[in-house]
Amino acid sequence: MQGRAIREVRANGVTATGFTYEAQSGRLHTVTDPKAQVRG
């Protein structure tokens, strides 16, 4: 089973944030900000 990946793009079309979620629990696993910095 794979986790989900969501990409949020703001109205300016430039600011994008990526979110990945754990497959089993559905909890947030990592966040990638517009500067490609990964937190998690």
Q: What is the 3-state secondary structure (H, E, C) of the chain?
A: CCCCEEEEECCCCCCEEEEEECCCCCCEEEEECCCCCEEC
pLDDT at residue 13 in the model: 75
Task: Confirm if 33 and 40 have CB atoms less than 8 A apart.
Answer: no
pLDDT at residue 6 in the model: 85
Question: pTM of the prediction?
Answer: 0.67
pLDDT at residue 20 in the model: 92
One pLDDT digit (tens) per residue for the chain, 40 residues:
578 888 888 887 777 899 999 988 989 899 998 888 999 8
